[in-house]
Amino acid sequence: MTRDSELQEECISRLREMRRECAEVKKNALDQVNEDFANILLGFECVVDSLRHELRMWIALKEGQPDAAWDRLISAQEAGRAAVRAHRGFSALTEHVERLDCIEKVVFPPQVFVSTGFIVGSQECSICGTEYGDCDHLEGIPYNGEFCLVLPKRTAIDHVAIVDHPRDRRCRITTVPTDQGSRNRMTWKLESSASESTGSMAGNQSHADCQFNGFWR
C-alpha cells in the first residue's frame, strides 16, 4: 500500500512480459508433448496473474476505487488458488492465498453476494469440445497446460438470489437506496438522488432498489 504507484506500474509491465515468455515456453513444451512441464508453466502464469492483480488492487485503492480493487482482489485469490491446482510444485502458494484472504477481511467491509441461476441447455468441455460428462476431463483440472472449463450453452436466466457462497464473489450488491439517495456499500458515499438510483443499469444489473454486479463469469 505504501509503495509508489509508478514503481508498481513498472512491476506490472515486467510481469506482463514474464507472462508472454511463459506462454512461449509452454507452447514449446506442448510441441515436445511434455504435459508435466506445460502444467508447471500454467502454474507460473497463474502466479504472475495473481501478483499482477494484487498490485492493481493496491493501485485502485490508492486511486479511491475500492469497487475496482475488490474485483482485482478476487482475481488475485482465484489465480493463486489456480496455481495450487495447476501443479503439485505450487502447493506452497496456499500461504499466498491465505494472505490475500486476510487482506479481504482486514481492508474491505463485509459483502452481500448474489448468484444468478441459469437454465442450461448443454455444457461443453473446453478441452475436447464434447458434452461435459461424456468425456473423462474434470472441471478445474489441468490438461496439457490448460484448465478444463465447463462452457454452458443455450442458457436462460432463471432467478437471482442472495447467497453466502456465490460461484463468483465479484457478484455482489454494490449500492443500496436511502432516503438521501443511492449509497455505495464500499465507500459509504451517497452517489445520486433516490429517484436516480432506481433502475439505473450503469454497467451493473438493477434489481428492486439495489444495484449489483450480477453475472457469473
Closest CB 129 distance from Zn ion, rounded Å: 7
Question: In the bound complex, what is the minimum distance in angstroms from residue 141's beta carbon to Zn ion?
Answer: 10
Shortest separation between residue 152's beta carbon and Zn ion, angstroms: 15
Q: Can you list the pairs that 57-66 forms with residues at least 24 positions away whose Cβ atoms lie under 8 Å?
A: 57/103, 58/1, 58/3, 58/8, 59/5, 59/8, 59/9, 61/1, 61/107, 62/1, 62/5, 63/5, 64/187, 66/108, 66/186, 66/187
Q: Which is nearer to Zn ion, 134 or 196 (CB)?
A: 134
Place of cell 502447493: 91
Shortest Å, Cβ 136 to Zn ion: 7
**Least Å from the CB of residue 62 to Zn ion:** 43
Q: Which residues bind Zn ion (CB under 5 A)?
A: 125, 127-128, 135, 137
Rounded distance between C-alpha atoms, residue 86 and residue 103, angstroms: 24
> Which C-beta is closer to Zn ion: that of 5 or that of 130?
130
Of the two residues 93 and 148, which places its CB atom closer to Zn ion in the complex? 148
Cell numbers 434489481: residue: 207
- Whichever of 25 and 150 has its CB closer to Zn ion, that residue is 150
Q: Is 200 strand, coil or helix?
A: coil
d(CA 57, CA 118): 30
Of 114, 106, 104, nearest in space to 165 by CA: 114
Q: Which is nearer to Zn ion, 70 or 143 (CB)?
A: 143
* Closer of 86 and 171 to Zn ion (Cβ): 86
Smallest distance, Å, CB 215 to Zn ion?
25
Considering only CA atoms, which of 98, 93, 91, 112 is closest in space to residue 162?
A: 112
